[in-house]
Structure 1
Amino acid sequence: MLTSRDEFIVAPGFSTDPLEEQHSVVPGLLHKYQNRALLLVKGGCAVNCRYCFRRHFPYAENQGNKRNWTVALEYIAAHPELDEIIFSAAIR
Structure 2
Amino acid sequence: MPQCKKCGNRRLFGSSKVPSVVPYTNGPVSGIIGHFHTAGEVETITSMGVDKEITTLAFRRPEDYFDLCLECGSPDLEWSGSRGI
* Shared fold, TM over 0.5: no
Query: TM-score, normalised to structure 1's length?
Result: 0.24
Greater fraction of residues in helix: 1
